[in-house]
Amino acid sequence: MLHELPVTSAAPTSGAPALALPLMEQFYTIQGEGYNTGRAAYFVRLGGCDVGCVWCDVKESWDVDAHPRVAVADIVTMATAHAGRNVVITGGEPLMHNLRPLTTALQTAGCQTWIETSGAYPLSGQWDWICVSPKKFKAPLPEVLAAAHELKIIIFNKSDFAWAEQHAAQVSPTCRLYLQPEWSKAPQMMPLIVDYVKENPKWQVSLQTHKFLDIP
Ligand code: SF4
């Protein structure tokens, strides 16, 4: 489902507003997890991540220089070539880049801007939905947690429930709280998550339904 990417020779973007971004892939699909599960969305996966999660399933995103820099205007053109107007910016860690130009252009084009971030870098851009999924390997910034609409904790082992509560204490009262089993650990962790959510109903279960559906 990849699109042909117009490549630009623009300089790297960290720091200054990014008019071109390292684009690993983009595709139109169904959001498979979290609050917006089941909704059509265009995914823009940006290259670059130094968080280093051992179970990362997109390690090929880590090297920012391995991906072509694509002009913001071209990303918007491709995102709006479909009927849907929800755009998920993900990575990699997308907040390693200044996302103000991209989100401004997407919103001007009538798109909802959603982000999936570890929260490890300062927030940039204008967002209609912020999903923060903290990682143990690089702590989220308090200001990003405070801005989250959705907190998604990946449960890899039993100790992650206490870790989830530590982060739930740092988000706003209206933030939606999700526990999601790490894919390879789901058989072991799912029963624990079910019991935990029944005892602590401020949390909801999130599943990677796109993996069950075999869609991107
Ligand atoms: S933050 Fe995301 S992209 Fe980066 S290592 Fe962790 S899971 Fe992978």
Beta strand 69-71 with 20-30: parallel, antiparallel or unpaired? antiparallel
Class of domain 20-212: alpha beta
**Rounded Cα distance, 27 and 99, in Å:** 19
Per-residue pLDDT, averaged over 135-155, amounts to: 97
**Rounded Cα distance, 193 and 180, in Å:** 8
Which of 57, 67, 97, 118 should be mutated for ligand 1, with most atoms under 8 A from CB? 118
Ligand 1 atom nearest to 49, measured from its CA: 4
Find, among 143, 124, 18, the residue nearest to 72 by Cα. Answer: 18
Per-residue pLDDT, averaged over 140-155, amounts to: 98
pLDDT band at 216 (very low <50, low <70, confident <90, very high): confident
Q: Where are the domains of the chain?
A: 20-212
SS3 169: coil
DSSP designation for 175: -
Ligand 1 atom nearest to 133, measured from its CA: 1
C-alpha distances out from residue 85 to 11, 120, 157, Å:
29, 27, 36
pLDDT above 50: residue 13: no
Query: Which residues does ligand 1 sit against, CB inside 6 Å?
Result: 49, 51-53, 56, 58, 61, 91-93, 118, 135
Please indicate if the annotation marks 187 as binding a ligand. Answer: no
Which pLDDT score, from 0 to 100, does residue 16 have? 60
Closest residue CA from atom 3 of ligand 1: 92
Please indicate if the annotation marks 131 as binding a ligand. Answer: no
End-to-end Cα distance, the chain: 9
Structure tokens at 148: 């989250």
**Rounded Cα distance, 45 and 43, in Å:** 6
Residues 85-120 have pLDDT tens digits of 999 999 999 999 999 999 999 999 999 999 999 999
Name 81's Cβ contacts closer than 8 Å, sequence gap at least 6. none
Which of 25, 33, 56, 183 should be mutated for ligand 1, with most atoms under 8 A from CB? 56
